A and B are shown apart, each in its own frame.
Chain A
Amino acid sequence: MRPVFCVAGGVSKFAKARKDKTFQALVREAVDEMCQDLRISHRRLREVTDETVLSYFSDHFTGQLKAGSMVHDYLGFCPAGSHRVEGGGATGGLCFQEAYKTIASGAADICLACGFETMSSVLTWKGNEFIALASDVTFDFPVGGFYSGYYAAMVTRHMKEFGTTVEQMAMVSVKNHRNAVHNPYAQHAGLVDLGNGEKVRAADLTVADVLRSVEIAWPLKRLDICTMSDGAAACLLASEKGLRKLQRARARIPALVKVSGIGRGQDTMRLADRPRGEVILLPHEDPELYRGLKYPGVHSFRAGRVAAKQAYERAGITDPLCKLDFVELHDAYTSSEIQTVEDLGLAPYGRGGAFIESGLPFMQSIRYGDGIRVAPARLPVNPSGGLIACGHPVGATGLMQAVFALWQLQRTIRARFGSDVLQVPGARCGLIHSHAGTGSYVAVSVLERVDA
Chain B
Amino acid sequence: MREMKKREHDAYERIIAKSGITRRFPRNLDFSGIPPILFLQPYAIEYVRSYGQDSPFFLGLRERKLLGSECKACRYRWATPRGHCMFCGKETTWFKLPHCGTVHAFTVCRFGSEAFLDETPFALAYIEFEDVQGLFLSRLKEVPLDAPTLDWIGMPVEARFASRPSAPEQQPPATPSVVDVWFVPLKQ
Contacts and interface: CB of A to CB of B under 8 A. Distances in A.
B137 A218 contact: no
A273 B114 contact: no
Contacts of B116: 144-146
Contacts of B5: 123, 125
A123 B104 contact: no
Interface stretch (B23-31, B105-113, B165-173): B105-113
B8 A123 contact: yes
Given A270-B80, A270-B137, A298-B104, A129 B113 contact: yes
Contacts of A125: 4-5, 8, 111-114, 117
Contacts of B117: 125
Interface string A273-299: 101100000000000000000000111
Given A143-B139, A156-B153, A298-B105, A276 B113 contact: no
Interface string A109-143: 00000000000000111101101100000111011
A143 B137 contact: yes
Nearest to B43: A63
B150 A160 contact: yes
The 3 residue pairs across chains A and B that have the minimum distance between CB atoms: A129-B113, A152-B107, A157-B105
Contacts of B148: 218-219
B124 A149 contact: yes
Interface string B83-108: 00010000000000000000011111
B137 A145 contact: no
Interface centre among A21, A131, A149 (most CB of B within 10 A): A149
A144 B109 contact: yes
Nearest to A277: B133
B177 interface: yes
Contacts of A66: none
Given A125-B117, A139-B137, A153 B51 contact: no
Interface of A: 19-21, 63, 123-126, 128-129, 131-132, 138-140, 142-146, 148-150, 152-154, 156-157, 159-160, 214-220, 268, 270-273, 275-276, 297-299
B187 interface: no
Nearest to A128: B113
B54 interface: yes
B135 interface: yes
18 contacts: A123-B8, A128-B112, A128-B113, A129-B113, A132-B113, A138-B178, A140-B137, A145-B112, A145-B115, A148-B109, A149-B124, A150-B124, A157-B105, A157-B153, A160-B150, A216-B109, A217-B108, A276-B133
A143 B178 contact: yes
B133 A275 contact: yes
A20 B37 CA distance: 9
Contact of A298 (B110, B126, B138): B126
B19 to A, nearest CB: 8
A242 B80 CA distance: 50
Given A138-B178, A153-B105, A273-B86, A128 B150 contact: no
A217 B137 contact: no
B163 interface: no
Contact of B126 (A128, A145, A271): A271
A272 B134 contact: yes
A138 B36 CA distance: 39
A272 B79 contact: yes
B82 interface: yes
Contacts of B81: 139
B161 interface: no
Contacts of B177: 142
B36 A272 contact: no
Contacts of A140: 137
B17 interface: no
A391 B19 CA distance: 25
Interface centre among A63, A123, A125, A132 (most CB of B within 10 A): A125
Contacts of B73: none
Given A123-B5, A144-B124, A272-B135, A138 B51 contact: yes
B69 to A, nearest CB: 10
Contacts of B9: 123
Contacts of B4: 125
Contact of B110 (A143, A154, A217, A299): A217
Contacts of B134: 272-273
B125 interface: yes
Interface centre among A20, A144, A148, A159 (most CB of B within 10 A): A144
B103 to A, nearest CB: 9
Interface string B38-76: 100101000000010010000000000000000000000
B111 A216 contact: yes
Nearest to A225: B111
Contact of B107 (A124, A129, A149, A272): A149
A335 to B, nearest CB: 11
A272 B51 contact: no
Nearest to B114: A125
Contacts of A152: 107, 109
A218 B8 contact: no
Contact of B54 (A138, A142, A150, A275): A138
Contacts of B109: 144, 146, 148-149, 152, 216-217
A272 B137 contact: yes
B179 interface: yes
B136 A146 contact: no
A129 B137 CA distance: 18
Contacts of A217: 107-111
Nearest to B8: A123
Interface in B146-174: 148, 150, 153
